[in-house]
Amino acid sequence: MKAALYIRVSTQEQATEGYSLDAQLQKLTSYANYMHYEISGVYRDEGQSAASTNRPELKRLLRDISAEKVDCVLIYKLDRLSRRVRDVIDLVEIFEKHSVSLYSLTENLDLSSPFGRAALKMSATFSELERETIIERSKLGKEQRIKSGSFICTGKAPFGYRADFKTKSFHVDEKEAETVKKLFELYLEGSSFRQLQIYAKSRHPDKFNSPSACRDVIKRMMYCGMFVWKGKVYEGKNFPPLISRETYFAAQRLLTKSGKKKVRDNTPYLLCGKITCGKCGSFYVGKLRIRNGKHDRTYICKKRLYQGKDNCSNKVVPAEIIEREIISAVKKINFVVCEKHEEHTNDEKIEKLLDLYLEGKIEKFVYEKKVKLLKKAPVEEKDRPSGFLLKNIEKLPKNKMRKILNLLINKIQVTDGKIEIFWNF
Ligand SMILES: [Zn+2]
């Protein structure tokens, strides 16, 4: 009896144990020896998938079968020949034509007898039919379930929920749901995704590895009781909402707005990262307070914001008040610090030109031409801003103001009502 040993491994399987070519070969060789078969050849398809029968060594085996060089084919498992039962049947039919028997080491299928082959064909036909109907049925069922408001997810339940496979519904996970609510609240108050992440990570250390995870939370429609499937919105029936629709859509509006501009430059909080808490040492962060429908910008101790009033009782400061105070302090130091600096910035030169023009000392076209030139010329970066800029600091765009304040101020310490400025000079 001349036995051909056919072994195959896919690229994916090469990584997993038990399926290695050597393991297959060893088992087949032992079997052939035990049966006193003569091994006529070993056919090894390495890194070959079972999706098609177009494999070099399988083709060689079929050629050798046609040439009557083989009496039987030994395989470790049927799926080594093919994962598609149709292909297995086709191969078995070719074997049959040449009176070659097939023996699989792990399946109890005796394909050397006509009955065994008939059994394989029957079971294959049945399982294929069954598979097709199950797929059709589940497709139909899924679509109907979704349209009647069932949110379906494969894999893990979305953050904030626990899946109940028996009732095909989702329960609220209290701790996660609380985080979701807080994240929406913080986001609407003007916190960045980075700040959201810090909060979320403090509660769920193994989750929220990037700020974008918080972005995903803010975008998830499920939290307001709806979901999207194939571009259509459905009213969710198998899960409770965690937040109101108003909250969700307010967050989406903010999301599209902030997506257009750089958030950092756009923050309305002038003193971000400058104010520290005189009681606990934490930074003060910007927070939007909504009262009677009115929005008030404030600064609040981060510890108080995230850990509650019990952990730090330092007062919340209205942004307008502290910013006005800081700006007026900056305008005062102007004379002391900047009079020593005689260099002129372009703005100063423009200001002087304006004076000259207004006094009638230069013509309008001269003034305009020179201003144009000066505006094109880059302003040199200096350690300290000049007098003109400081005098007019509140007329500058916020990002420029922030830049100047960063140069001048080391930190601002707030202790209840008291504001203390630590200068950089
Ligand atoms: Zn504090």
Indicate yes or no: pTM above 0.85.
Answer: no
79-127 pLDDT, tens digit per residue, is 788 877 778 878 888 988 898 988 888 766 666 666 676 767 666 666 5
Measure the CA–CA gap between 319 and 325, rounded to whole angstroms: 10
Strand-pairing partners, residue 73, are 4, 102
Chain-centroid distance of CA 335 in Å reads 51
CATH domain 2-126 topology? Rossmann fold (3.40.50)
374-396 pLDDT, tens digit per residue, is 776 554 444 445 566 777 788 88
Parts of the chain belonging to CATH 3.90.1750.20: 161-266
CB atoms under 10 Å from CB of 225, counted, come to 19
What are the C-alpha distances in Å from 200 to residues 157, 159, 210, 328?
18, 11, 10, 38
Domain spanning 161-266, CATH class: alpha beta
Catalytic (active site) residue 210: no
Going from the Cα of 60 to the center of ligand 1, the distance in angstroms, rounded, reads 78
Kindly indicate the confidence band of residue 355, based on its pLDDT and cuts at 50, 70 and 90.
Answer: confident
Going from the Cα of 283 to the center of ligand 1, the distance in angstroms, rounded, reads 8
Measure the CA–CA gap between 18 and 20, rounded to whole angstroms: 6
Name the CA radius of gyration of the chain, rounded.
38
3-class SS of residue 318: strand
Q: Are 377 and 346 in contact (CB under 8 A)?
A: yes
Going from the Cα of 279 to the center of ligand 1, the distance in angstroms, rounded, reads 5
Parts of the chain belonging to CATH 3.40.50.1390: 2-126
**One-letter identity of residue 232:** K
Nearest CA-CA partner of 347 in 387, 313, 312: 387
Measure the CA–CA gap between 236 and 239, rounded to whole angstroms: 6
